[in-house]
Amino acid sequence: MLWKIFQKKKWVIALLFVGLLGLAVAFNQSQNVSVEQVLIDRGMDSTVLSEQLSKKVVGGLLDSSIDYPARISVAQAESQSSQRGIVASAGTRHLFYSFDLLSRYEVINDSISGQPILVAFCATCETAVIASRVLGGASVYFEATDALWDGALVLESRGGGSRFWASASGKELVVDEALSKDLTFLPFDISTLGEFSLQYPEGLVVE
């Protein structure tokens, strides 16, 4: 009698284990959707997306992202004074990101005055943005995808889960927009390195 009860319990435990395993797999898959799935859910035509991805891969940049690149003084970069770029400022700190650097890295995960920032450049639409990397109280690292949304680069969060943002608008690409956490853009200036060095002699040049 006891043996029969034990056998029945083993079957119940086995069924529960299989059920929990199935739920875990389903949850993991739901947390790792592709950018293609997200854009199609948002209404993009699959044929247009395929053509777009193939063009982006063929003509894409070699490096999609870099974290905390090196910095040098304006005096050390004096020979590059004619270069144009964007200037990020926070308090007394000023950083210069040349368009030459941005043409090699679509996404730069950096910080200024202790504030995590994202610098993104879309070579296709020739648009640069600077945004806070803090979302929901947590610091997020970004990477570039091979996709475009509204003609601009689509960004992806690095690490667990798959989340995507349109770089031009800062909108998180989710079907239910009420659940989105959009990027907060930060102001920046466009300048030559020579102008930057005159205005901010203590500024730093990001390499």
pLDDT in tens, 10-30: 544 444 444 444 433 333 434
Per-residue pLDDT reduced to its tens digit, 52-101: 454 444 444 446 799 999 999 999 998 899 999 999 999 999 999 999 99
Look at residue 112 in the predicted model and tell me its pLDDT.
97
Q: Which of 49-53, 87-91, 114-118 has the lowest mean pLDDT?
A: 49-53
Look at residue 27 in the predicted model and tell me its pLDDT.
35
**Whole-number average pLDDT of the chain:** 79
Beta carbons of 27 and 33 less than 8 angstroms apart: no
Separation between Cα atoms, residue 187 and residue 185, nearest integer Å: 7
DSSP SS3 for 27: helix
Look at residue 45 in the predicted model and tell me its pLDDT.
55
Which residue, among 170, 93, 97, has the nearest Cα to 135 in the 3D structure? 170
Q: Where are the beta strands (DSSP E) in the chain?
A: 63-67, 71-73, 84-90, 93-98, 105-112, 115-122, 127-132, 134-135, 138-139, 142-149, 152-157, 164-166, 189-192, 204-206
pLDDT band of residue 42 (cuts 50, 70, 90) is: low
pLDDT band of residue 46 (cuts 50, 70, 90) is: low
Beta carbons within 10 angstroms of residue 86's beta carbon: 22
| Exposure of 64 in the CB half-sphere (CA atoms within 13 A) | 16
